[in-house]
Amino acid sequence: MVSATIERPGPVPAAAGIGLRGPHHSQFLTDAPSVAWLEAHSENFFAADSIASSALERIRANYPLSLHGVGLSLGSAGPLNQEHLAKLGRLIERFEPGLVSEHLCWGAAGGYHLNDLLPLPYTEEALDHMAEHIAQVQDFLGRQILVENVSSYMEFKDSTIPEWEFLAAVSARSGCGILLDINNIYVSASNHGFRATDYIDAIPADKVGEIHLAGHSVQVYEDQAVLVDTHDAPVCDDVWALFEVALQKIGPRPTLIEWDSELPPLTVLLNEAQRAQDMMDEAHELAA
């Protein structure tokens, strides 16, 4: 376990980082490649004594860290899973991440999990529920979390609030920050026919604590093309363009290249991060 005397890299900087994935652990342990910060999936390190957790302990000594959860299921009806929350709390205590994030979604019903990031119906009931759960999480952890917008492939008839207003309201009510996933905005905008820039314009810039960039794929169902957030490809040109819009509106933030499936060599992720960093530097110069 960590003692208070261990000195670690501090806050996550407003620079480009990458997602830390298992197949790349050994390269981080031996080569310590240059990147501003790393983000790890919280649940992958819930087993405190695992080989992966031992690796993260050593990697953490060299990089600022963000912990990104995918399984707390903040928007599911019923109470929060206290066991999951307790594991997250122990993880945060051990690794002292600069940022902690989860999703604006649900993923469990009736005691069973779908292990997916499912969109909510954007209703007053769901807004109350989500804000209450986030407040409970923040009280338990004793810190602010960031909440990320998810990609969507369905719309509920019950929804009465645009997603961007819902996300802003969740942040205002609970005090959480926003993790703005540009690729998810692009995917949902393409699937549901709204303007991605309207979404970005509606998000309060001062609440955005992190930005995600990722690749997606096009899947065809009965001649219907659907964009799906698969994290298995480079960031596409349209999403890079949208990132530029976000930089102008929001300013530089810790920005992550996410890649989970069909994982390429580490250099590919580092090159994507460098491209994001170059755009951030350029936006900073223009603003100066």
Partner 1 sequence: MNSLRSLQERCYRAFLLGEAEPLLPELMSREIPAPISIQVYQNNARETYRKALAANYPVVERLVGDDCFRGFALKYMRDYPSTSGDLQRFGATLPDFLCEHYRDSRFAYLPDVARLEWAVEEVQLSRESGPLDLDALSRIEPEHYTEVRFHRSESARLICSPYPILSIWRTNQPGQETEVDLSSGAEHVVVRRHAGSVQLNLIDSAAASLAAHLGDAETLEEATAALDSEFGDGQSFDLTTALQQLTGTGLLSRFTLEQPTYSQ
Interface with partner 1 (CB under 8 A): 43-44, 46-47, 49-52, 54, 70-73, 75-78, 81, 84, 87, 106-116, 118, 120-121, 123, 125-126, 129, 153-158, 191-193, 219, 221-222, 224, 226, 228, 261
Q: What is the DSSP letter of 119?
A: P
With respect to partner 1, which residue has the nearer C-beta, 173 or 249?
A: 173
With respect to partner 1, which residue has the nearer C-beta, 26 or 271?
A: 26
Residue 105 CB, nearest approach to partner 1 (Å)? 11
Residue 242 CB, nearest approach to partner 1 (Å)? 18
With respect to partner 1, which residue has the nearer C-beta, 125 or 282?
A: 125
Among residues 9, 91, 79, which one has the least CA distance to residue 48? 91
Residue 111 CB, nearest approach to partner 1 (Å)? 7
Among residues 244, 241, 274, which one has the least CA distance to residue 257? 274
Write the CB contacts of 281 (distance below 8 Å, at least 6 apart in sequence): none
Q: What is the DSSP letter of 99?
A: E
Residue 69 CB, nearest approach to partner 1 (Å)? 8
With respect to partner 1, which residue has the nearer C-beta, 102 or 272?
A: 102
Helix axes 82-95, 124-141, angle to 10 degrees: 50
Residue 123 CB, nearest approach to partner 1 (Å)? 7
With respect to partner 1, which residue has the nearer C-beta, 108 or 246?
A: 108
With respect to partner 1, which residue has the nearer C-beta, 123 or 197?
A: 123
Among residues 211, 215, 186, which one has the least CA distance to residue 283? 211
Sign of the Cα torsion 194, 195, 200, 203 reads negative
**Contact (CB, 8 A) for 63 and 16:** no
**Contact (CB, 8 A) for 276 and 237:** no
Residue 157 CB, nearest approach to partner 1 (Å)? 6
| Ramachandran quadrant class, 145 (left: phi over 0; alpha: psi -120 to 50; beta: rest) | beta
Backbone angles phi, psi at 19, to 5 degrees: -75, 135
**Contact (CB, 8 A) for 149 and 118:** no
Residue 275 CB, nearest approach to partner 1 (Å)? 28
With respect to partner 1, which residue has the nearer C-beta, 133 or 253?
A: 133
